[in-house]
């Protein structure tokens, strides 16, 4: 029996007890050709498509499901309910054990008995095409018992509100408290106390490429292969292994270039796990691509915070104490594996962290609600923390008659104060807030801008100038997730080699989302080894079977961690090359250098040069020319992790110039400036564009983007016509400059840059709008700052309706 026939026979004779339905087996035809040899023609299963019937209700019990009519529809291969999927997939729990008190119940890939948000998958239909699957969904009849929904996070803990998970007795998910002590005394003795409440609306990421995967199961070897648009291949490998009670070696995840992620694609989604489960059930490749409508309903949402803040100040404007109370609603579950409470935790830990006050008290509350789940998205809690704090700083400056720039000069931590530990016990290695602010004001021509603003106000033109200081968590250590029990690594690996053709080949687990990560890797490798950029080949994509282990793209970490692994591996390879070259050239390694792909004498003498191509050919093909004591090692591997700090922080300062029309409420962004310090800028042009892209994603939620729900938990913004993204005309000229303060946690000295741009605009824009509204004694404290919000602040319209304010 041939190998192919043996494989087919093994597939046919496999244990069907696990799946028991809709099995498609290979057909084997045997015929003779030529000299009587047997030729096997195995018809392999064709790929099928899955679509999901999603709950139309925010909270409802599933009374019955009748899928008989759907199963008879053309092209339909299989129909599965939540119970069917639960039979082979364990639930997952989005709880980190080091976050004391955090709770969330087990979550199955699809709703089993109760649907807890509009958009939760309930029934899966597998068909020969996506269109056929969607048509069949219309024939599935689900009997619902609609239940009261807990929608408003402000009321979620009221005894009268419906409890989403009855065993908990309330909708409380998590609480976090920080208290240095002495706060009440500081407020009692303060010359000025400033209080306000800032509301940040719910938003989502909207990557150009939606979520999607293709899963294929090899029943003979019990191996699952998943091609995934995802940000962390090894994370998904561990998640699927746990769900299906398989070894990680039995799960292969392949992540090619990804069309945008922004944090949307680092979470566990039930529809994606269900698609993999269906591949196992059917033993056929299953494809799932979320369309844009269901993406709005099922891709994680973010932000949605209410922050009450309070500042105590002396007569000179020095901040004495800060107090905040943050509330957020995260949907019915804490997302696996990162936990939906991390965003609030960052708000609690980071608000005011760039200012030098010593007294701080913060209370954070996370509640469950019948809306789509929330979790980490670009910037995570930073935009919320900085919007709230920068607003308070500006309000204090206004009441004290101090210019906002001078207010920050007096209170930002001095650049020579590092290393520094904030009141929330966050450790900062080295930052440059004062230097960034000084450079920003020079870049903006701040004093002249203020003079121009005053002239224009006399003509009825209302310009606003807003500032914001910020910092960004990057290059995290294992303490952020690993200690909480999540399979989220922080070690990065690189294998680099000189191949037989003289090319430098670099293999990492870097995830290319369009941010230019592969270019950065190539630059670092070229510099480390000593070759032209064109001589470096970076193997693209991540494959958990054949590639190095890594953690993927999240928390602005790839340049700082993967880059350091590449640098160290490249330096090791360089030394190995020089060792062999010294033997060939009959000299010492100390006298040699590698420049532009050739080994040369450092002293410039002729006759001592050899190309890397020639060295490679000697090593790979003509080893007889080398003495037995010379062992060419033209491959090097290095692993790297951050050791000395929990995180490496970058920082910066941003300024905004805009015009507000008090008659219409329209806001016209005129210019944004940003000075950022991300340590060593490996590729300044890519850094600039990361900042600009982040700024665009910060402009969106500040002025436009909003996931709006009605009082019954129905999402009203499910299309691009309703959910407004910033277009090219909405994004002004963004001028970017840099300060470079190198981190000592790595030889590379690079900090992260991916999320910095998204963190500053909400604060800078809100301050600029309020600056423009000062002649009217008006202010806005809610985002997005739509024309209606501006007109409401001016008293020209009544308060915006409860539906449009829901987030």
The pLDDT of residue 24 is: 36
165 assigned to some structural domain: no
358 assigned to some structural domain: yes
Domain boundary among 640, 661, 677: 640
Q: Are residues 649 and 633 in the same domain?
A: no
State the burial class of residue 365 (Cβ atoms within 10 Å of its Cβ: 0-12, 13-18, 19+): buried
Give the domain CATH number at 227: 3.90.1170.50
The pLDDT of residue 604 is: 79
Q: Are residues 251 and 111 in the same domain?
A: yes
Q: Are residues 626 and 650 in the same domain?
A: no
Q: Are residues 97 and 219 in the same domain?
A: yes
Ranges under pLDDT 70 in the chain: 1-44, 607, 799-807
- Which helix or strand (DSSP H or E) is residue 163 part of? none
In whole angstroms, what is the distance from residue 555 CA to residue 646 CA?
A: 12
- Phi, psi (rounded to 5 degrees) for 26: -65, 145
**Number of separate domains in the chain:** 3
535 assigned to some structural domain: yes
**CB-CB contact of 671 with 733 (8 Å):** yes
Give the domain CATH number at 441: 3.30.365.10
The DSSP code for 714 is -
The pLDDT of residue 44 is: 63
154 assigned to some structural domain: no
- Phi, psi (rounded to 5 degrees) for 265: -105, 45
Query: CA dihedral in degrees (713, 718, 724, 726; nearest 10)?
Result: 120
Q: Are residues 511 and 630 in the same domain?
A: yes
574 assigned to some structural domain: yes
Q: Are residues 339 and 472 in the same domain?
A: yes
The pLDDT of residue 800 is: 59
- The parent domain of residue 736 ranges over 301-478+644-805
Q: pTM for the full model?
A: 0.92
178 assigned to some structural domain: no
The pLDDT of residue 284 is: 96
Q: Are residues 402 and 371 in the same domain?
A: yes
Q: Which residues contact 697 (CB under 8 A, 6 or more apart)?
A: 262, 378, 379, 757, 758
Q: Are residues 400 and 518 in the same domain?
A: no
Q: Are residues 713 and 670 in the same domain?
A: yes
720 assigned to some structural domain: yes
The pLDDT of residue 484 is: 84
CB neighbours of residue 412 within 10 Å: 22
Q: Are residues 593 and 666 in the same domain?
A: no
Q: Are residues 636 and 651 in the same domain?
A: no
Task: Write the DSSP string, 408-468.
Answer: HHHHBPPGGG-SEE-TT--EE----HHHHHHHHHHHHTHHHHHHHHHHHHHTT-EEEEEEE
Q: Are residues 539 and 654 in the same domain?
A: no
In whole angstroms, what is the distance from residue 340 CA to residue 199 CA?
A: 18
183 assigned to some structural domain: no
In whole angstroms, what is the distance from residue 313 CA to residue 189 CA?
A: 9
């Amino acid at each position: 029996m041939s190998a192919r026939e043996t494989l087919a026979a093994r597939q046919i004779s496999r244990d069907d007890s696990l799946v028991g339905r809709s099995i498609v087996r290979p057909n084997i035809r045997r015929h003779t050709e030529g000299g009587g040899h047997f030729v096997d023609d195995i018809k392999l299963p064709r790929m099928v498509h899955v679509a999901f019937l999603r709950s139309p209700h925010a909270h409802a019990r599933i009374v019955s499901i009748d899928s008989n009519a759907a199963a008879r529809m053309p092209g339909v291969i299989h129909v599965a309910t939540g119970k069917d999927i639960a039979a082979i997939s364990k639930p997952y729990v989005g709880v980190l054990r080091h976050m004391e008190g955090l709770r969330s119940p087990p979550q199955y890939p699809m709703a089993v008995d109760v649907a807890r948000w509009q958009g939760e998958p309930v029934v899966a239909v597998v068909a020969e095409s996506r269109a056929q699957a969607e048509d069949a969904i219309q024939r599935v009849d689900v009997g619902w018992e609609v239940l009261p929904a807990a929608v408003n996070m402000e009321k979620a803990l009221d005894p009268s509100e419906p409890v989403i998970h009855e065993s908990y007795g309330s909708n409380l998910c998590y609480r976090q408290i920080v208290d240095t002590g002495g706060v009440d005394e500081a407020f009692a003795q303060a010359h000025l106390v400033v209080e306000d409440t800032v509301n940040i609306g719910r938003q989502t990421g909207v990557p150009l490429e939606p979520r999607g995967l293709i899963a294929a199961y090899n029943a003979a070897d019990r191996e699952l292969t998943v091609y995934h648009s995802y940000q962390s291949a090894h994370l998904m490998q561990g998640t699927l292994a746990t769900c299906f009670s398989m070894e990680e070696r039995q799960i292969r995840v392949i992540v090619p270039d990804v069309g945008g992620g922004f944090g949307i694609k680092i979470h566990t989604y039930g529809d994606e796990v269900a698609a993999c489960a269906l591949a196992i059930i059917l033993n056929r490749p299953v494809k799932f691509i979320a369309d844009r409508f269901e993406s709005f309903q099922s891709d994680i949402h973010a932000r949605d915070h209410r922050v009450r803040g309070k500042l105590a100040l002396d007569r000179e404007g020095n901040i004495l104490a800060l107090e905040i109370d943050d509330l957020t609603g995260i949907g019915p579950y804490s997302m696996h594996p990162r936990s939906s409470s991390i965003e609030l935790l960052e708000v609690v830990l980071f608000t005011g962290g760039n200012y030098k006050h010593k007294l701080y008290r913060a209370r954070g509350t996370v509640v469950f609600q019948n809306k789509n789940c929330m979790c980490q998205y670009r910037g995570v809690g930073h935009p919320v923390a900085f919007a709230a704090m920068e607003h308070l700083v500006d309000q204090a400056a206004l009441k004290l008659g101090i210019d906002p720039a001078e207010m920050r000069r007096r209170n930002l931590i001095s650049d020579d104060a590092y290393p520094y530990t904030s009141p929330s016990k966050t450790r900062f290695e080295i930052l440059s807030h004062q230097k960034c602010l000084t450079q920003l004001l020079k870049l903006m021509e701040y004093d002249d801008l203020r003079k121009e603003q005053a002239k224009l106000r006399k003509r009825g033109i209302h310009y606003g100038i807003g500032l914001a200081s910020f910092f960004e968590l990057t290059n995290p250590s294992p303490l952020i997730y690993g200690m909480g029990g999540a399979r989220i690594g922080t070690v990065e690996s690189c294998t680099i080699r000189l191949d037989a053709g003289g090319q430098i080949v670099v293999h990492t687990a870097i995830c290319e989302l369009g941010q230019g990560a592969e270019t950065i890797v190539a630059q670092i490798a070229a510099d480390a080894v000593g070759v032209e950029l064109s001589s470096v080949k970076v193997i693209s994509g991540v494959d958990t079977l054949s590639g190095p282990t890594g953690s993927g793209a999240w928390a602005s970490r790839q340049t700082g961690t993967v880059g350091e692994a590449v640098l160290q591996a490249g330096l090791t390879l360089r030394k190995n090359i020089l060792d062999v070259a010294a033997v060939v050239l009959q000299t010492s390694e100390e006298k040699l250098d590698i420049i532009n792909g050739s080994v040369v004498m450092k002293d410039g003498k002729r006759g001592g040069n050899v190309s890397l191509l020639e060295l490679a050919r000697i090593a790979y093909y003509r080893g007889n020319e080398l003495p037995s004591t010379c062992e060419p090692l033209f491959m090097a591997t290095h692993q790297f992790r951050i050791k000395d700090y929990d995180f490496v922080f970058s920082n910066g300062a941003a300024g905004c110039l805009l015009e507000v029309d008090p008659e219409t409420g329209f806001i016209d962004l005129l210019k944004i400036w940003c000075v950022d310090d991300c340590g060593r800028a490996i590729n300044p042009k890519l850094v600039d564009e990361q900042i600009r892209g982040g700024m665009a994603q910060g402009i969106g939620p500040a002025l436009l983007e909003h996931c709006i729900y009605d009082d019954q938990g129905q999402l009203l913004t499910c299309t691009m016509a309703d959910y407004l993204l910033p277009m090219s005309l909405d994004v002004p000229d963004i001028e970017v400059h840099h300060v470079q303060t190198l981190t000592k946690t790595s030889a590379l000295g690079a900090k992260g840059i991916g999320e910095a741009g998204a963190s500053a605009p909400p604060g800078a824009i809100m301050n600029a709008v309020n600056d423009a509204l000062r002649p009217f004694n008006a202010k806005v404290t809610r985002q997005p700052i739509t024309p209606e919000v501006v007109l409401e602040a001016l008293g020209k319209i009544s308060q915006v309706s409860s539906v449009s304010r829901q987030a």
